Amino acid sequence: MTTAMPAAVAKAFDAFPPEPRALLLQARETILQLADETKAGPMTETLKWGEPAYLTEQTKAGSTIRLGLVGGQPAVLFHCQTTLVDSFRTDLPDAFDYSGNRALILAESSDPDALALCLTRALTYHRAKRAAS
C-alpha cells in the first residue's frame, strides 16, 4: 500500500539518515495499513515538532503517532500522557528498547507483529477507552 505523502512530510523523511529512514518508512506503511484495517482512519499525515505524525482526526479513535529519531535511532513516539508505552513494556518487554514513556526504538531485527500490535493499540487507544467506560 503506497499512499501519497504530503510534500512537507516527504521533506522530513528525506532529512533522516538512510538506514533510519528505511525503518521509519516501513513503520509509516504499517500505520496506514492498520488504520484502514482497524477503521481508525482516514489518517491525517502531517508534521508535529518537525516529524511525521499520524492522527485519527475524523474518527478520534486513536492517539497521535510520530516517527522520528531518539538518540539517533529510529523511533515510534507516542503521547507521553497515555499508558501506551508502559503497556507495551509490560506486554512486550523484549520486543523493543523503550525510551521513557514516549517511544519504542526500531531496529532491523524488530518483530513486525509486535510493532503492528503496538500501532494498533495506539490507533484505537481512545476508542478502546470509550468502550471500557
Q: What is the rounded distance in angstroms from the CA atom of residue 98 to the CA atom of residue 106?
A: 9
Which pLDDT score is estimated for 128?
81
**2 falls in which pLDDT band (50, 70, 90)?**
low
pLDDT band at 116 (very low <50, low <70, confident <90, very high): very high
Q: Tell me the helix, strand and coil percentages in the chain, rounded to 5.
A: 45, 20, 35
pLDDT (tens digit, 9 = 90+) per residue, 73-92? 999 999 989 999 999 999 99
* CA dihedral sign, ordered 75, 1, 57, 51: positive
Q: Summarize the confidence of residues 29-55 as an average pLDDT.
A: 95
**Positive or negative torsion for Cα 98, 99, 104, 108:** negative
pTM attached to this predicted model: 0.94
Whether the predicted pLDDT of 48 surpasses 80: yes
- Could you give the percent of the chain with pLDDT greater than 70? 98
CA distance 122 to 99: 16
| Structural domains of the chain, with CATH | 18-125 (3.90.1150.200)
pLDDT of residue 3: 74
Coil, helix or strand at residue 17: coil
- Alpha-carbon distance of 91 to 123, in angstroms, equals 17
Q: Which three cell numbers stand for residue 113?
A: 507483529
